[in-house]
Amino acid sequence: MLIQHLHLSTRNLPKQRYFYTQTLGLALLDASQTSFTFQAGASRITFEQAGKIENPHYHFAFNIPENQLTEAKAWLQSRTSLLAKDGADDFLFAPAWNAEGIYFQDPDGNVLEFICRHNLATATAAPFGVESIICVSEVGLVAPEVAPVVGLLAQTAGLEVWQEAGPNFKALGTETGLFILVKEGRSWFPTQLPARASNLQVIFRHRSRNFLLKGTEGTVQIKELIQEKKEILA
């Protein structure tokens, strides 16, 4: 699974734009008074100005080379603060995930992650930099109940549960792209911030098919994107 385009809302468009394109140095693709889009490896992310009554909050993660946690940590610490838990600011997810990660926040307080997945052949000898970001590899999905959304994603897109931690946490997809599906109110690791449903859109590719997922006010909708065939005139 590949997350191609992630569309989110923000309370403070100028601060978010500065953080992602200046502090982190991700390439700006498009900008207007109400939105901006930047490239993150093979993925694009768009932030749009939230409505007055919206209070959006998200978790998403970036895959980075599996051998560069130390380099990525130093690079990130020179730009922003890392999130810590119980005195640690890097985390080993073993044996099930076979991965290591570091966490940070953007100006909106979204919980972001750099994750090294050791099952993927992504090791490199190149110095770590913003161009080392491979793709958006996780997007948090929040719902009042997890099981119905698991069924919807399985039936519509063929997504399978890759890892789980009880009935209120399911990771669906593959290590190149996962939906982290949690019940509303569950804290986003490594914080005590409760997950809450926020408007989002995700265009993703799975098994050679493209899909659009929309999360709106706690409901999740998904449909396949069918490319129109152009008629060829003789």
pLDDT at 229: 52
**Using CA atoms, how far apart are residues 187 and 206, in angstroms rounded to an integer?**
28
In the chain, the domains with their CATH numbers are 2-203 (3.10.180.10)
pLDDT band at residue 227 using 50, 70 and 90 as cut-offs: confident
The C-alpha atoms of residue 198 and residue 74 are separated, in whole angstroms, by 31
Tens-place pLDDT, residues 169-210: 999 999 999 999 999 999 999 999 999 999 999 999 999 999
> 205 φ, ψ to 5°?
-120, 135
Distance CA 86, CA 44 (A): 33
Asked whether the beta carbons of 141 and 182 are under 8 A apart, the reply is yes
| Residue 72: pLDDT over 70 | yes
Q: Is the dihedral of CA 9, 11, 15, 19 positive or negative?
A: negative
Residue 230: pLDDT over 80 = no
Per-residue pLDDT reduced to its tens digit, 39-57: 999 999 999 999 988 999 9
Q: Is the pLDDT of residue 234 over 70?
A: no
pLDDT in tens, 117-162: 999 999 999 999 999 999 999 999 999 999 999 999 999 999 999 9
The pTM (predicted TM-score) of the whole model is 0.95
Q: How many CA atoms lie within 13 A of 127 on its CB side?
A: 3
CB neighbours of residue 164 within 10 Å: 15
Q: Distance between CA atoms of 179 and 120, rounded to whole angstroms?
A: 18
